[in-house]
């Protein structure tokens, strides 16, 4: 009888082509499934809480898999980490009810976006932050961010809105902006996010903070006008912080 294993996974997204399995096999899902197959002795399907795209990182992605092999959770973690690339690590795992589903059971997610505002990007920040080589106006950034808090139709901030069959209405509970020296972080807590939604929002916020867009233009969000925010912030600055259940 199979048992459901819940995994908390961290990864550096830079070397991989995103979460979702692809024919070339260089995705987070592909690497996890290959490692699990070697330990379990059979092919398995890993289900993730979300499909991060190429370059996006995760501090605590959640996934589940059904396994037949009776190993203690710590043994699963040890065996998988011995087989996975160093840029992917299983941080925790536990057996859960078969009713648990990494994606369908999720109540919300937290994403963090990092911006480095200085003339020089330190090498250890390479592929970890969006480099903007000058200061940005934090007060304008904070003022603009308030327009995204609450329940809105985010169709204008979905990269594939023309193909979506699902609702584009989402609730953002909070947008927190912090600055420590040249590093600016923008953290989003919401019930769900559309494809590239966070990066498109960050792109608009930064355009406002750089004086290239008016804050008033963000008021179209709930107006029914779906003129898209066409500038997405680079993937390398985005981190999935945690999934809420």
Does residue 103 belong to any structural domain of this protein? no
Query: In which domain, by residue range, is 183 found?
Result: 108-244
Q: What would the pLDDT profile of 82-121 be if each residue is shown by its tens digit?
A: 999 999 999 999 999 999 999 999 999 999 999 999 999 9
DSSP string, the chain: --EEEEEEEEE--TTSS-SS--TT--SHHHHHHHHHHHHHSS----EES----TT-EEEEEEEEEEE-S---HHHHHHHHHHHS-TTEEEEEEEEE-TT--TTTT--EEEEEEEEEESSS--GGGTTTSEEESS---HHHHHHHHGGGSEEEE-GGG-TTTTT--S--EEEEEEEEEEEETTEEEEEEEES---TTHHHHHHHHHHHHHTTSS-GGGGGGGGTT-------PPPGGGEEEEEEE-
CATH number at residue 78: 3.30.70.580
Same-domain pairing of 216 and 131: yes
Q: Which of 108, 127, 176, 115 is nearest to 148 (CA)?
A: 176
Does residue 102 belong to any structural domain of this protein? no
- Please report the pLDDT score of residue 233 as a whole number: 97
Same-domain pairing of 118 and 234: yes
Same-domain pairing of 157 and 70: no
Last residue of a domain, one of 41, 69, 96: 96
Last residue of a domain, one of 58, 75, 96: 96
Does residue 64 belong to any structural domain of this protein? yes
| Statement: residue 159 has pLDDT above 60 | yes
The values of phi and psi at residue 154, to 5°, are -95, 30
Q: Binning pLDDT at 50, 70 and 90, where does residue 162 land?
A: low
| Statement: residue 59 has pLDDT above 80 | yes
Does residue 82 belong to any structural domain of this protein? yes
Does residue 74 belong to any structural domain of this protein? yes
Same-domain pairing of 140 and 237: yes
Q: Binning pLDDT at 50, 70 and 90, where does residue 156 land?
A: confident
Same-domain pairing of 91 and 187: no
| Statement: residue 228 has pLDDT above 70 | no
Same-domain pairing of 36 and 116: no
Same-domain pairing of 112 and 89: no
CATH number at residue 234: 3.30.70.660
If one counts the domains in the chain, the total is 2
Q: How far apart are CA 6 and CA 47, in angstroms?
A: 10
Same-domain pairing of 92 and 114: no
Same-domain pairing of 115 and 53: no
Q: How large a percentage of the chain has pLDDT more than 70?
A: 94
Residue 192 near residue 109, CB atoms below 8 Å: yes
Does residue 39 belong to any structural domain of this protein? yes
Same-domain pairing of 52 and 125: no
Last residue of a domain, one of 72, 96, 120: 96
- Please report the pLDDT score of residue 217 as a whole number: 84
Same-domain pairing of 57 and 172: no
Residue 26 near residue 13, CB atoms below 8 Å: no
Does residue 101 belong to any structural domain of this protein? no
Same-domain pairing of 133 and 236: yes
């Amino acid at each position: 009888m199979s048992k459901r294993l819940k995994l908390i996974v961290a990864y550096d997204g830079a070397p991989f082509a995103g979460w979702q399995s692809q024919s070339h096999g260089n995705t987070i899902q592909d690497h996890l499934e290959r490692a699990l197959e070697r330990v379990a002795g059979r092919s398995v399907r890993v289900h993730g809480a979300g499909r991060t795209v190429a370059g996006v990182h995760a501090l605590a992605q959640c996934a589940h898999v059904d396994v037949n092999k009776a190993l203690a959770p710590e043994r699963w973690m040890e065996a998988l980490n011995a087989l996975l690339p160093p840029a992917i690590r299983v941080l925790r795992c536990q057996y859960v009810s078969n009713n648990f589903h990494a994606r369908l059971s999720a109540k919300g997610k937290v994403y963090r976006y990092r911006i480095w505002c200085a003339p020089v990007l330190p090498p250890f920040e390479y592929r970890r932050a969006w480099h903007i080589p000058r200061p940005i106006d934090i007060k304008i950034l904070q003022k603009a961010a308030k327009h995204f808090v609450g329940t809105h139709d985010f169709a204008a901030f979905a990269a594939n809105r023309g193909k979506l069959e699902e609702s584009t209405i989402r609730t953002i509970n909070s947008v927190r902006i912090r600055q420590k020296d040249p590093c600016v972080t923008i953290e989003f807590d919401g019930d769900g996010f559309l494809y590239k939604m966070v990066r498109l929002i960050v792109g608009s916020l930064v355009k406002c903070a750089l004086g290239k867009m008016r804050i008033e233009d963000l008021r179209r969000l709930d107006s029914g006008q779906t003129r898209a925010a066409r500038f997405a912030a680079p993937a390398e600055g985005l981190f999935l912080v945690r999934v809420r259940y």
